[in-house]
Amino acid sequence: MNKLTPATESFWFGRTFKISLLLIFIIELFSFLNHSLNQVWGTGNLFFCFFAFLLFCLTLYRLEYGLFAVLIELLIGSQGHYFDLNLNGQIISIRIALFAIVVVSFLYHSLRKKEFKNTLNVFLKNKYLIILALVFIWGLISALLNENSFKNIFNDFNAWLYFLYLFPIIYVLQRKTDLRKLWPILTAGITAVSLKSLFFLYVFSHKFTQLPNYLYDWGRDMRWGEFTLVSGGLYRIFSQAQIWSLIACLIILVNILLIKKFKTNKKEWLILSLIIALNLATVLLSLSRSYWVGLIVAGITILMFAIFYYRLRIYQFATLIGKSLIIALLSSIVLIIALFFPLPQQTVLNPSSALNSRFDIGDQAGASRWNQLPQLFEAISQHPIIGSGWGTTVTYESRDPRIVTEDNPTGVYTTYAFEWGYLDIILKIGLFGLFIYLLFIFQIVKKAFILLKNKEEQHRNALLIGLFVGLIALLGTHMFSPYLNHPLGIGYLLIFFTTVEYYSRTAPTKSL
């Protein structure tokens, strides 16, 4: 069995990277084409059915192809609406369709080969997964007892169904020897998201005629991102998919900074550094304070590992800082090119003014977030331990210009989704539910740290540390933007869980 070597270019790139990047480009092209044609000829359902049928055939042929498609969609899809099926106003996203396809295909493969029971037994042996599943079910029961809206219950709860991907993942893991294709797909996904974000920034920062309008409508209608003009004439290019830019650049950063015997040439180091720089630039151009919080706590975590785990000497620590500064410089150059490339003529920009506005807690987004707190605490106080169930709503006064309109000048808004991620979870499944969820995450981390005791496996350990640092960034971001209760965050937990389980199964270190 070939060992994984995260310090090499081929681990992150190779043939799988090229194929994945090409497929992502084709998906983006078809998505843009579908958006344009759908406004004239109503082709949306046709495109959806074509891709759904294609994915169904591929997944039925080989289940791992479906899981690869899930990963690609998760990396680039933001809210999962690249293609939608519209049935008399009822929208079914490609993410939901893909979920159904993979689950059905898993049942087909596992039952046909009589391996469903073995897969189920792996799940049943993990008591934390069982308790977590019971908590989710309680959230449903509680929601029904509190007579929450069925529509809100479904829209709120369906994200948690992402955990059901554990079954096909476990099934495939039992039949496969390694995870080599996962990492180049991850690299391709974050590369595509960063290039797309930078392209949007470039277009909105320059005097194109109609292209900004087309991109704005496309990006907003498929719910990929938000594009808003902030102070200084600069556009904020924000997408939920950019959370992967934050997480994955940290994973790769750890692998090229903290492996003592980094056997790679300058070309490989430069390519990996450029990938990190592209994604770091994406995190910065998002102007997301939540991402920045995640980046800061992750950076502190990297320093802690450098000092206490790797025990770097002063000159090694200085080298680490120097390499980090080089990557930061590359990231700055990328942003400068996107903003100030002279063709066509750029708009009048004042980036410092835009940056300062993001530190003003009195801005519209910040004010809306703070306005949620009193009402959230009041709602939580009703059932602080067991929660009020999925779909529980709270009414507050928003400052969001999309909500404050002529029809609603006061901005009074009722919703079941909240910016305060941990409070959202407490509201729905209580402090007990949050404790169980964090305990499940802790068990993944605990297994990873047991593996880290064997310091001879440098490449494996760097990958595990990178995944842990990415988790810290996710946990930090979740304080102000909900991701742990979203497919994007849950998907990352599944990747971390899968990697730890794989290494626990193959390593000589005894697993829990």
Q: Contact, 185 vs 72, CB < 8 A?
A: yes
Q: Which residues contact 328 (CB under 8 A, 6 or more apart)?
A: 277, 280
What pLDDT is stored for residue 2 in this prediction? 44
Instruction: Quote the CA–CA distance of 426 and 434 in Å, as a whole number.
Output: 6
Q: Contact, 333 vs 358, CB < 8 A?
A: no
What pLDDT is stored for residue 291 in this prediction? 97
pLDDT band at 146, cuts 50/70/90? Answer: very high
Q: Which two tokens stand for residue 380?
A: 């939580």
Instruction: Give per-residue pLDDT as tens, 245-276.
Output: 999 999 999 988 887 555 556 777 888 899 99
What pLDDT is stored for residue 417 in this prediction? 93
pLDDT band at 67, cuts 50/70/90? Answer: very high
* Pairwise pLDDT comparison (219 vs 400), residue with the higher score: 219
Q: Which two tokens stand for residue 121?
A: 């037994």
Among candidate residues 272, 268, 283, the one with its CA nearest the CA of residue 332: 283
What pLDDT is stored for residue 457 in this prediction? 87
Instruction: Give per-residue pLDDT as tens, 468-499.
Output: 999 999 999 999 999 999 999 999 999 999 99
346 strand-pairing partners = 206
Instruction: Give per-residue pLDDT as tens, 383-436.
Output: 999 999 999 999 998 877 778 777 788 889 999 999 999 999 999 999 999 999
With a cut of 90, say whether residue 28 has pLDDT above it. Answer: yes
Instruction: Quote the CA–CA distance of 424 and 428 in Å, as a whole number.
Output: 6
Q: Which residues contact 279 (CB under 8 A, 6 or more apart)?
A: 190, 193, 194, 245, 246, 248, 249
206 strand-pairing partners = 346
End-to-end CA distance of the chain: 23
Q: Which two tokens stand for residue 470?
A: 């990415």
Instruction: Quote the CA–CA distance of 308 and 310 in Å, as a whole number.
Output: 6
What pLDDT is stored for residue 304 in this prediction? 95
pLDDT band at 458, cuts 50/70/90? Answer: confident
Q: Which ranges constitute the DSSP H helices of 205-313?
A: 211-221, 243-257, 266-285, 289-304
Q: Which two tokens stand for residue 375?
A: 């009402």
**pTM of model > 0.85:** yes
Amino acid at 318: A
Average pLDDT, the chain: 90
What pLDDT is stored for residue 49 in this prediction? 97
What pLDDT is stored for residue 7 in this prediction? 47
Domain ranges of the chain: 193-358, 361-512
Instruction: Give per-residue pLDDT as tens, 299-332.
Output: 999 999 999 999 988 988 898 899 899 999 999 9
Mean per-residue pLDDT, 336-344: 87
Q: Contact, 68 vs 111, CB < 8 A?
A: no
What pLDDT is stored for residue 356 in this prediction? 60
